[in-house]
Amino acid sequence: MFFGGHSVPPPHCHTTLAFGGAKRNGAAVQQYDDHITLITPDAPLATRTHGGRAKCLQRLVRLNLPVPQTLALSFQTVRRIAAGEMPSAELLLGPFKPSAILCVRPSSEDPDWGGPGAVLNIGMNDARYVELADRIGREAAAKLYLRFVQSYAIHVARLDAEAFDDVSDEPVTGLKQALAAYEDETEEEFPQDPGRQLGEVLRSMARAWEGTTARLLRQAKGAPANAGLGLVVQEMALGLGEGECGSGVMQLVNSQTGARQITGRYLSQSQGREALRGGVDALFLERDPRGPSLEELAPEAFAQLKAHTVLMREKLREEMQAEFTIENGRLYLLDGVRVARNARAAVAIAVALAEDGIIPREEALMRVEPRALNELLHRQVDPEAARDVLARGIAASPGAASGRIVFNATEAQASESRREPCILVRRETSSEDIRGMHAAVGVLTERGGMTSHAAVIGRGMGKPCVVGASSIQFHMRRKQLVFPKGRVVKAGDWITIDGTHGEVLAGDTPLLEPARDEALATLMGWADETRDIAVRANADTPADAEMARSFKAQGIGLCRTEHMFFEADRLTVMREMIFADSGEDRAAALELLLPMQRADFIHLFRIMQGQPVCIRLFDPPLHEFLPTDRSGMRELAEALDLPLSDVTRRVEALGEYNPMLGMRGVRLGITVPEIYEMQARAIFEATVEASREGDPVVPEIMIPLVSARREVELVKTRVDAVAAAVRNETGKSFTYRLGVMVETPRAALRAGEIAPLVSFLSFGTNDLTQMTYGLSRDDAGRFMSDYVQQGVYPEDPFHTLDTDGVGELLKIGAERGRRARPDLVLSICGEHGGNPESIAFCRSAGFDYVSCSPFRVPVARLAAAQLAVRERTGQVSEI
């Protein structure tokens, strides 16, 4: 029986013939319920039952490639072995020659989930050592035996590696010492029976997979808790003999760039040395004047290897790396694995396979993970560089940057003027930090989450940002940071922030430059031909708009006008308006801002070249434009020629207990109407001017923080009046679209009342999430990880759209709005707009477009294309 240790198979067990359809060495191969089977072209193997390696080896066998005899153990078999039920040695060894040397390799469903390391040279014992010594020499035979003894001792018998520290480097002597050390540690001789050796190796690997640490590691990589492991037992081609012998790997592309290039390595046992290329671990396969190559040492085997690798690419529809051995000039393929690749290479490989007609374009789109594009669009920490991690926070904006620490916006601007890169460090950022964020190469904050001010602005600027680094002590007055292990970094010291992984690193860490190449442009072109939902960009400045254009955004979905008021010349005028005592005085102050705003909008419209631009009217509370410390108030008093006491009282009067729910957005536009009137005039005058030189501009004006129909009526009346005035003054006709930014639950619920007054509803999911949950997006980072870990929320709702709660409000708003006005345009413009999961929701809910930060536009374009492919053709199966 199979799990009884007997060699006779049960009646229902059938016999599978060996490789090539004939018995191998006179022995038939036994098979039990498809769980242990010889890998043949028609063997019942599947990735979901035996793992990816076993299935790939079967594909190589089907291509009639020279694969050594291999036995596959299913997930179920490995689980039984881990539980103590071991197949008989006769069943496991039956397919192989009595003298065969074996190896065992893991075969998980997804190679990224890892697994225990391979164990080689199983079957080496004293008798086999003597036989091999006569054929290949004592030293070569001793090396094989010694490697197996050490590997078995450490990974199977679980002995300390230090027990073999004193083993000699000379193989024959070292072997004797290793065997003696094993016997001393275990109080028994090294196992000589190949069946026992193989059984113990299988048991060790099976139990290692079932261990808690291994399970947690693979779950962190996305594996389910019950993920299975298969094992493959393969006869080894030793690559030892009198003719050309050796081993290596070959692939047809560069793993870093995806360019067509034969790379790999070959260790010639005959030559006894490796030939290095360029000082890296890539050995000569093709002819090279700097040293011997496989092509010279074994030209026939090299030609076969190259042809086999090309065939694997064509038939397996993937760039593959061939692991091979050459024994006396004869080639054996031990394995074929998917070529390791970074994001840049993944794009290039997918595009090349499609252009060569090996896969369709739709499948090429599906083979690139949208979020992986961040690696191509931003600088990244060199994966080969040492990482001295000081602390971790929330990865709020991807990319990496190194610079000297500065603690305020003024220092950041001074550093930029000296052309010295700097990292802006703040407890949390606010609107007054905008200039400093522009000047810095990256931002680090103590507080905040994925939708905090620093995170949103950082993503918009394309600057790396780590927020919520609460494990760091921020001493702002002393201008120093104290990290968890007591390390202190002060102003002027160098640090590196990795916004992709949320890490703060010590020093000036090596970085890799972005890689926006032709392959990426080709892939994105295919994505645009395929997707059926538009993608716009959130852009607040002309620089943002230029970036949006370069990333092929289909317009601007959110322009936050308040960011235009923080330049030094505008900030003073803005403060004069805030301190004005009457509507006339406010209008006079705003009259100075009008030409500045008009120039901003003209520039924006011209950059977008006729594409839609959605401008959100003024949103933040006025106190954000006022100083918070005494020195700042003193400077303001001097600038306005007012007593310091008047300035202090005014600042205090504008203070609110909860400003984000106070006098802001449409509430400010109704109570201080001069602001919205000035902005509307600037938009319309810019529309007339920009339309003189190109396509007519049709601006979109968005009212923020609406919660009632009457608010829209009041603002619409004033905006319409300004539009009529500008038409009369200029003699030019133009159109515009008015819309509402749905940020309050009430606006979503009453969308049916609001929709008849507007052309569009754009859901601001940052504030809508905040108000739906009753959470502060700036403070939630302190406890959100605990909530997610304990299952309170499945994900951070500020990072991944809550399709159940917030999503229900979106659906209600969309349905009621479209019922009242069928041609209503729907979109989201919060930071969720760039997430693939959010795009899927919006697409299914019938939204017209999503809008996100410029650097997230390519991610959104690819994600939208993948959704369209899945709907039309179903999920493209993986290799």
Residue 440 DSSP symbol: S
Residue 291 DSSP symbol: B
Sheet holding 229-235, edge to edge: 36-38, 70-73, 229-235, 102-108, 119-122
Say how far apart CA 445 and CA 468 lie, in whole Å: 6
Residue 216 exposed, middle or buried by CB count within 10 Å (0-12, 13-18, 19+): exposed
Between 194-210 and 75-82, two packed helices, what is the crossing angle to 10 degrees?
A: 100
Q: Is 453 a catalytic residue?
A: yes
Residue 547, CA distances (Å) to 499, 537, 622 in order: 19, 9, 29
Closest CA to 442 of 388, 382, 378: 378
Cross-strand partners of 220: none
Q: Which residue has the tokens 């000035």?
A: 678
Q: Is 603 a catalytic residue?
A: no
Say how far apart CA 293 and CA 863 lie, in whole Å: 44
Kindly give, in sequence order, each residue whose CB lies less than 8 Å from that of residue 733, ignoring residues fewer than 6 positions away: 727
Query: What's the chain's Rg over C-alpha atoms?
Result: 34
Residue 6 backbone phi and psi in degrees, to 5 = -90, 155
Of these residues, 308, 453, 799, 832, which one is catalytic?
453
Closest CA to 539 of 853, 269, 871: 853
Q: Is 200 helix (H, G, I), strand (E, B) or coil?
A: helix
Of these residues, 829, 832, 842, 852, which one is catalytic?
829
Kindly give, in sequence order, each residue whose CB lies less than 8 Å from that of residue 406, ignoring residues fewer than 6 positions away: 412, 415, 422, 423, 424, 425, 436, 440, 491
Kindly give, in sequence order, each residue whose CB lies less than 8 Å from that of residue 236, ignoring residues fewer than 6 positions away: 68, 100, 101, 102, 103, 120, 121, 325, 334
DSSP string, 581-601: SSHHHHHHHHHHHHHHHHHHH
Category of 444 on φ-ψ map: left (φ > 0), alpha (ψ -120 to 50) or beta: beta
How many CB atoms neighbour CB 667 within 10 A? Answer: 17
* Residues with a known catalytic role: 453, 829
